[in-house]
Amino acid sequence: MRTTQFFALAAAGVLATAGLAACSDSDKGDSAASGGPIVVKASDTACEVGSTDLGAGTATFKITNSGAKVTEFYVYADGDRVMGEVENIAPGLSRELHVELPAGTYQTACKPGMSGKGIRGALKVSGSAQPLTADAALGDATDNYQRYVKSQTAALLDKTEEFVAAVKAGDVAKSKALYPVARTYWERIEPVAEIFGDLDPKIDGREEVIEEGMEFTGFHRIEKDLWQSGDISKDGPIADRLLVDVKEIVAKANAEKLSPLQLANGAKELLDEVASGKITGEEDRYSHTDLWDFAANLEGSKAAVSALRPALQQRSPELVTQLDTEFANVEGLLGKHRDGDGWKLHTALSKAELKDLSDGINALAEPISKVAAAVAK
Amino acid sequence: MSGSRLTRRRAITLAGAGVAGVAGVAAGAGALLKGSHDPAAANDHPAGAVPFHGEHQAGIVTPAQDRLHFVAFDVITKDRARLVELLEEWTAAAARMTAGRDAGVLGAVGGMPEAPPDDTGEALGLPPSQLTLTIGFGPTLFRDADGRDRFGLADRRPAALAELPKFPGDALQPQLSGGDLCVQACANDPQVAVHAIRNLARLGMGVVSVRWSQLGFGRTSSTSREQATARNLFGFKDGTANLKAEDTDLLRDQLWVQPGDGPDWMAGGSYLVTRKIRMLVETWDRTSLAEQEEIVGRTKGSGAPLGRSDEFDEPDFAARGADGKPVIAEHAHVTLAHPSRNGGAQLLRRGYNFVDGSDGLGRLDAGLFFIAYQRDPRRQFVPIQTQLARHDVMNEYLRHVSSGVFACPPGVRDGGDHWGRGLFG
């Protein structure tokens, strides 16, 4: 039978610096366990760990050596990778170990006489470390992204106003030109928009997602009329409704503070949007302006990752390198399809070109899917 | 037994026996594959594990499992080191999955809640199901279509790994053909086979891209004397005259690449040819029994060559009927494919039936996913298929829509070895 439990490997470069051995009277209790350090009773023949089922985060162990031999205390991940250690605990002394442990399975070990494999015990860590914003770099990430949302929503409002005015004026050519531009600002911040579940389908719902009894409105309704019938004479009320909804979402988005985890997941969701809707040409099926949305999703994803970058750099530098490489790759692939200030139509791309884009998005989305865990560590 | 009155139920029972047969010889296959490994991992029930390490890759002479998921990849990275790293990761994942474990170290449910699991999870709780994973390298890995030596491997390409010639009647779809790499996953549970390919494809994101893939069921060949011969979708036993795991001398001559055949890295390996052969079953089903048997050259019930009584009797090409005509037609499938007509060439076939839904014209999109392993396609598959493509009356009911040729290296020796080490080393 398949086993569902394995020793936790340090997935992406876990940071596990043991707090330096501190003297017994020092008080650094920010243990993930219920208050106070986890007491470890070490002797020449035993290694009793007070709690072996911890919440993720920084754990503090207080090791007291009642034996006659000098001992050491270790926390090991799979393959005896040292997550943290305290050496040289003389008989009768207590020392503390601070170690950051993500969810997983570990082993504790006391080494009386400071040699051999030691006296081992299992240690289980589950859940996630909280609260993340306590970390300065993550706090900065949240603030940084909030500034991005502010700038994008301002532009979204401006361009939607222009688009709506053109539609109401019956100017088909101008409306067509503004449609992908206004949507760019929307698509960049879609993860924020999606927090407001009721507004998203009104603004950006495609015809097939409109439920029974709901009217097909928003960008895609106007898109259909612009490109399919060319008749937007009756779209005034729909355009007015769109502007009201966009104004509401702009206000809400600016009041919203995304957590670092939401940022990380948003970066991934934007790429999922590309993979499932834009590559296939489903999003802008009448106008075929999917590549504008594609570019905007990619930019939005990059903005979220950039905001997290300093925190990621601390936590998982190799992931940052990988993300840089893959962002550059997709940007290069997409860059081939530039057309003036905008993009080629989806219909102008061959199947092979679309597959190249799909491969590029997949190559980027896999490392991006690891960002949340790196942030949560 | 003479199968002139083979009932449907009996046929089903036989097919069942085929599966049971897998169990019966599993231990023997283990012995064949294990090289110097101890047979502790050998299996005594169909749910067992096939040893991953050994002299040859598993999945070639392993008693043919019931299900297939075959995939061909294009390599999309230009970075040789990244490709080698993927082959190492794949090998570790393949060793785990064939033993019935998760693809990744943390597993489907053992990681952090914020992280996507390193295994996709659909095989949780399922036994190993005799999963084998077999890798092959295509000609385009060595030089691409423009003749570029992509990874500094061009001088290591074996002469035997030549692109197949165009055969008369080929209707190949480029997007369904070729590939820089392939992985054949065979198992007795389709979910286990699909799980394996899905997880390898995921590990490969950014390095390789799935070019095409194929699901198959109901193995159409037996690769061991312990297995009953299965039937293809024409309803005929297929692979009666197949190379069998027990034919040690024949395997040396016909299946395994020998030292001195070509580059050292292929010694102990084998060359794989795949052909997706669409069968026009609706028109075949309207063909009289006599004509079907004449086209194949065997009786439909027992699988015996025409004029003989037992499936494993040798066909008698000299026999004449009362009308003075050959009992087995000159252009019968059996005649054209027979070693006596092809300089003694034989193949180890390992094909599977497929039904990919229907084709929108009211016809099943069905046929045979042909898989054959051999020592040198230039002397084995190519001459045989040339004969068949020119003269086989069966072609009226067949369309070859996909084709691939791959060099499958020798087995992964142990935990320190990995797929492609000999080639890239």
For B160-171, the pLDDT digits (tens) are 999 999 999 999
Query: What string of DSSP letters covers A46-94?
Result: -EEES-SEEESEEEEEEEEE-SSS-EEEEEEEGGGEEEEEEEEE-TT-E
Q: SS3 helix, strand, coil % of chain A, rounded to 5?
A: 50, 15, 30
Residue partners of A231: CB distance under 8 A and separation at least 6 = A225
**Predicted confidence (pLDDT) at residue B29 exceeds the cutoff of 50:** no
CB contact under 8 A, B124 and A127: no
**Predicted confidence (pLDDT) at residue B102 exceeds the cutoff of 50:** yes
* CA B370/CA B392 separation, integer angstroms: 16
Q: Which position has the token pair 């200030």?
A: A341
CB contact under 8 A, B111 and A11: yes
For A137-194, the pLDDT digits (tens) are 788 788 888 888 888 898 899 999 999 999 999 999 999 999 999 999 999 998 777 7
For position A235, what pLDDT does the model report? 96
Neighbouring-strand partners of residue B407:
B137, B271
Pair of tokens at residue B58: 């598993």
Question: What global pTM score does this model have?
Answer: 0.75
Residues of A in contact with B108 (CB under 8 A): 4
Nearest CA in chain A to B113: A127
Average pLDDT of the segment spanning B54-66: 97
* CA A188/CA A182 separation, integer angstroms: 11
Query: What 3-state class would DSSP assign to B99?
Result: coil
Pair of tokens at residue A47: 């290694």
Question: How far is the alpha carbon of A211 from chain B, nearest alpha carbon, in Å?
Answer: 30
Instruction: Please indicate if any CB of chain A lies within 8 Å of the CB of B102.
Output: yes
Average pLDDT of the segment spanning B9-23: 36
**Predicted confidence (pLDDT) at residue A21 exceeds the cutoff of 60:** no
Which residue from A5, A8, A366 is facing B206, i.e. has the nearest CB? A366
Mutate which of A1, A2, A261 to disrupt the B interface (most B C-beta within 10 Å)? A2
* CA A62/CA A50 separation, integer angstroms: 9
* CA B337/CA B385 separation, integer angstroms: 8
- For helices A136-168 and A260-273, the axis angle rounded to 10 degrees is 40
Using an 8 Å Cβ cutoff, are B124 and B108 in contact? Answer: yes
Question: How far is the alpha carbon of A92 from chain B, nearest alpha carbon, in Å?
Answer: 38
* CA B29/CA B24 separation, integer angstroms: 10
For position A212, what pLDDT does the model report? 73
Query: What 3-state class would DSSP assign to B186?
Result: strand
For position A80, what pLDDT does the model report? 62
Q: Which position has the token pair 């299996």?
A: B43
For position A30, what pLDDT does the model report? 38
Pair of tokens at residue B6: 């083979």
Question: How far is the alpha carbon of A260 from chain B, nearest alpha carbon, in Å?
Answer: 12
Phi, psi of B166, deg, nearest 5 = -80, 125
For B328-367, the pLDDT digits (tens) are 999 999 999 999 999 999 999 999 999 999 998 889 999 9
Higher pLDDT, B31 or B163: B163
Using an 8 Å Cβ cutoff, are A32 and B158 in contact? Answer: no
Q: How many CB atoms lie within 10 A of CB A212?
A: 4
Nearest CA in chain B to A127: B113
Per-residue burial over B59-93, b = 16 or more CB atoms within 10 Å of its CB, e = otherwise? bbbbbbbbbbbbbbbbbbbeeeeebbebbbbbbbb
**Predicted confidence (pLDDT) at residue A215 exceeds the cutoff of 70:** yes
State the Cα torsion A51-A55-A59-A60 to the nearest 10°. -40
Using an 8 Å Cβ cutoff, are A247 and A157 in contact? Answer: yes
* CA A41/CA A50 separation, integer angstroms: 8
Q: What is the mean pLDDT of chain A?
A: 84
**Predicted confidence (pLDDT) at residue B216 exceeds the cutoff of 50:** yes
Nearest CA to A366 out of A311, A321, A300, A322 is that of: A322
Average pLDDT of the segment spanning A285-301: 95
Average pLDDT of the segment spanning B105-120: 92
Pair of tokens at residue B211: 């070019």
* CA B341/CA B326 separation, integer angstroms: 16
Beta-strand pair A22-23/A57-65: unpaired
Per-residue burial over A243-267, b = 16 or more CB atoms within 10 Å of its CB, e = otherwise? bebbeebbeebeeeebebbbbbbbb
Question: Within a 13 Å sphere around the CA of A360, how many CA atoms are in the beta-carbon half?
Answer: 23
Using an 8 Å Cβ cutoff, are A37 and A96 in contact? Answer: yes
Q: Edge-to-edge, what's the strand order for the sheet holding A81-89?
A: A53-55, A119-126, A104-110, A71-77, A81-89
Residues of B in contact with A1 (CB under 8 A): 100, 125, 127
For position A207, what pLDDT does the model report? 86
* CA B412/CA B420 separation, integer angstroms: 9
For position B33, what pLDDT does the model report? 33
Using an 8 Å Cβ cutoff, are A12 and A368 in contact? Answer: no
Residue partners of A145: CB distance under 8 A and separation at least 6 = A258, A263, A303, A304, A307
For position A117, what pLDDT does the model report? 79
